[in-house]
């Protein structure tokens, strides 16, 4: 089973299973989830679930916890349902946890989390003797994040009893109501409290709007009945949103269903038949979403994809803003190596948080020490051959002469500054991501301000390593962001002077012919 993966929920009795398992399989889903409790209730005998469903892929079974959430109780015990899942040969089984509905008090959340933990301990002998099944350890606590985090940590103590997968329980209601920011908080809380190498399952996540966000935070497995529930309600899932079939003039999809029918034709198909067609389309959409996410992961552009999703729907934006609260966590987990894909795309103000940019940006500040006493900062632009920066200028002025002198001299350490990339040592200019990124003119005041702080922080850290430091900053007055940069820098430069650091601002007033736009095209 390749992760991230989403298990379609199927009816264990197959009586109400409108979409055939072979059809689900042919779309690409090689694993399904079904309800062991309902199966046990409907079936008097114990038989192999793979034979019963005639499905040779991976079968995950749930224990009936969802029935507790909906109806308040189930007619089985924890030990009974765990043993049953083992006997029918489930590939992945779940203990009978006690779900926390999202509206409950903290006291009740504590109660359901404690009961769940105790039940996980209660069946440790069964799961230990049933090694053919991978056992899921659900963590409860709902939206009470302190409860969730406490029980997540307690769960790490009993994971070794025979469990293989953690699960975050019962966010279904939140997901149904598009309260995605809360779900993001819950996922972060659990993911950051348990071992990063252990898989995490999220119950009930089945909409393309939320899937990439939870995957970015480290969810590996999901399950959902959304494809069929939405279809029964005549709803059509797209990668960006959900539509009522009645609203659609066109079917914006090329799956076999949408290639065969128009929206109008679909509307005319009666009853179960249209439900089935919609369900199939919804499954194709979910599977396409999974493939897109996996490709993004391989190419190292999941962040760019989240930006796209944030723009698709207000709920996506809420999820994105929630993810941004956990940037430090994401950076601590993001790979340092160059991804297989192309350069970084700076397409929105959110692009500056892209781990591929911010990680090297931080590393440079924290780890680079100038070798020389004199350091000079010059604005980054193409071509990178800095010695020609100022000789090529059409009009030579005194400040321009000074720039030529500094950039040509070997007694200066040269650093380049850029509102998105931060401070880049000259010798790293040909490395990723500095050599491979594309941007538009995104030089908002807050970015330029941040760049000033970055430069000051860099100099202060460097001055600790070098007793004597002489800092020169060249600012060209031909672009708006550099004029803004000079203003802010003048405001803050007293911090450096108060530490005894020599500081020179060189405002180069060459009347450059190149416009800012040309500059950006080159980058």
Q: Which residues are catalytic?
A: 62
Cis peptide before 405 (omega within 30 of 0): no
Of 258 and 286, which has the nearer Cβ to Zn ion?
A: 258
Stretch that binds Zn ion, among 138-146, 160-168, 257-265, 497-505 (CB under 5 A): 257-265
Q: Taking CB under 5 A as the rule, does residue 255 contact Zn ion?
A: yes
Which lies closer to Zn ion via its Cβ, residue 189 or residue 238?
238
Q: Is 27 in the site for Zn ion (CB under 5 A)?
A: no
**Angle 65-192-64 (CA atoms, 0-180°, nearest 5)?**
5
Which one, 89 or 208, has the nearer CB to Zn ion? Answer: 208
Contact, 280 vs 230, CB < 8 A? no
CB of 259 to Zn ion, least distance (A): 8
Is position 281 an interface residue for Zn ion (rule: CB under 5 A)? yes
Q: How far is the CB of 284 from Zn ion (least distance, A)?
A: 5
- Three-state DSSP at 492 gives helix
Report whether 226 contacts 207 (CB < 8 A): yes
Q: Which CB sits closer to Zn ion, 217 or 251? A: 251
Looking at beta carbons only, is 71 or 250 nearer to Zn ion?
Answer: 250
241 in contact with Zn ion (CB under 5 A): no
If one asks whether residue 276 binds Zn ion (CB under 5 A), the answer comes out as: no
Tokens of 285: 């959409």
From the list 2-10, 213-221, 253-261, 435-443, the region that binds Zn ion by CB under 5 A is 253-261
Count of residues in contact with Zn ion, rule CB under 5 A: 5
310 three-state secondary structure: helix
Task: Give me 322's structure tokens.
Answer: 């929630």
Q: Would strands 221-224 and 235-237 be described as parallel, antiparallel, or unpaired? A: unpaired
Identity of the residue, 98 or 258, whose beta carbon is nearer to Zn ion in the bound complex: 258
Q: Which of 349, 309, 312, 357 is nearest to 213 (CA)?
A: 309
Helical (H) or strand (E) element with 375 = strand 374-379
Kindly state whether residue 258 participates in binding Zn ion, applying the rule CB under 5 A: yes
Question: Which range binds Zn ion by CB under 5 A, 177-185, 196-204, 274-282, 367-375?
Answer: 274-282
Interacting span for Zn ion (CB under 5 A) from 146-154, 164-172, 173-181, 275-283: 275-283
Listed ranges 78-86, 247-255, 338-346, 384-392: which one lies at the site for Zn ion (CB under 5 A): 247-255
253 binds Zn ion (CB under 5 A): yes
Q: How far apart are CA 51 and CA 42, in angstroms?
A: 16
Smallest separation (angstroms) from Zn ion to the CB of 350: 29
CB atoms within 10 A of CB 394: 10
Residue where the block lists tokens 């430091």: 469
Q: Is 18 in the site for Zn ion (CB under 5 A)?
A: no
Q: Which residues contact 478 (CB under 8 A, 6 or more apart)?
A: 510, 511, 512, 514, 516
Least separation, in Å, of the C-beta of 4 and Zn ion? 21
Min dist. Cβ of residue 231 to Zn ion (A): 12
**Cα–Cα distances in angstroms (integers) from residue 404 to residues 377, 385, 482, in the given order:** 13, 12, 19
Bond into 433 cis (ω within 30): yes
Question: Least CB distance from residue 256 to Zn ion, whole Å?
Answer: 8
List interacting residues with Zn ion (CB under 5 A).
253, 255, 257-258, 281
């Amino acid at each position: 089973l390749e992760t991230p993966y989403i298990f379609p929920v199927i009816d264990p009795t197959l009586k109400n299973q409108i979409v055939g398992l072979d059809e689900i399989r042919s779309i690409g889903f090689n694993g399904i989830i079904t309800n062991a409790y309902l199966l046990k209730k409907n079936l008097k005998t114990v038989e192999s679930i793979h034979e019963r469903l005639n499905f040779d892929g991976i079968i995950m079974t749930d224990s009936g916890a969802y029935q507790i959430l909906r109806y308040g109780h189930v007619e089985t015990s924890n030990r009974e349902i765990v043993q049953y899942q083992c006997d029918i040969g489930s590939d992945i089984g779940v203990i009978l946890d006690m779900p926390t509905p999202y509206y409950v008090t903290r006291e009740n959340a504590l109660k359901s989390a404690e009961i769940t933990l105790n039940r996980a301990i209660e069946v440790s002998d069964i799961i230990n003797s049933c090694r053919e099944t991978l056992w899921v350890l659900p963590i409860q606590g709902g939206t009470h994040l302190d409860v969730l985090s406490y029980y997540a940590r307690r769960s790490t103590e009993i994971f070794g009893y025979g469990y293989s997968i953690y699960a975050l329980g019962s966010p279904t209601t939140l997901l149904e109501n598009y309260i995605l920011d809360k779900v993001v908080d819950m996922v972060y809380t659990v993911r950051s409290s348990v071992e990063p190498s252990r898989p995490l399952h999220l119950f009930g996540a089945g909409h393309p709007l939320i899937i990439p966000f939870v995957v970015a935070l480290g969810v590996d497995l999901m399950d959902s009945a959304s494809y069929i529930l939405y279809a029964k309600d005549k709803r059509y899932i797209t990668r960006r949103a959900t539509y009522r079939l009645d609203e659609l003039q066109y079917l914006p999809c090329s799956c076999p269903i949408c290639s065969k029918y128009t929206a109008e034709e679909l509307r005319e198909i009666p009853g179960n038949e249209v439900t089935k067609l919609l369900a199939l389309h919804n499954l194709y959409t979910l599977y396409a979403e999974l493939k897109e996410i996996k490709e993004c992961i391989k190419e190292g552009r999941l962040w760019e994809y989240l930006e796209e999703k944030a723009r698709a729907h207000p709920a996506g934006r809420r999820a994105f803003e929630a993810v941004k609260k956990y940037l430090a966590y994401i950076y601590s987990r993001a790979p340092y190596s160059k991804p297989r894909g192309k350069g970084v795309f700076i397409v929105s103000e959110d692009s500056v948080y892209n781990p591929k940019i911010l990680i090297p940006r931080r590393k440079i500040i924290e780890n680079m020490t100038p070798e020389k006493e004199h350091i000079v900062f010059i604005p980054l632009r193409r071509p990178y051959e800095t010695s020609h920066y100022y000789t090529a200028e059409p009009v030579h002025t005194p400040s321009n002469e000074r720039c030529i002198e500094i950039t040509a001299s070997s007694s200066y350490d040269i650093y380049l500054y850029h509102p998105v990339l931060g401070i880049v040592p000259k010798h790293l200019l040909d490395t990723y991501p500095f050599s491979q990124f594309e941007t538009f003119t995104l030089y908002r005041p807050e970015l330029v301000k941040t760049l000033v702080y970055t430069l000051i922080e860099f100099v202060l850290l460097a001055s600790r390593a070098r007793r004597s430091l002489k800092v020169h900053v060249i600012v060209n007055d031909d672009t708006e962001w550099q004029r803004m940069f000079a203003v802010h820098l003048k405001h803050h430069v007293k911090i450096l002077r108060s530490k005894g650091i020599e500081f020179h601002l060189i405002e180069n007033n060459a009347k450059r012919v190149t416009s800012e736009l040309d500059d950006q095209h080159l980058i």
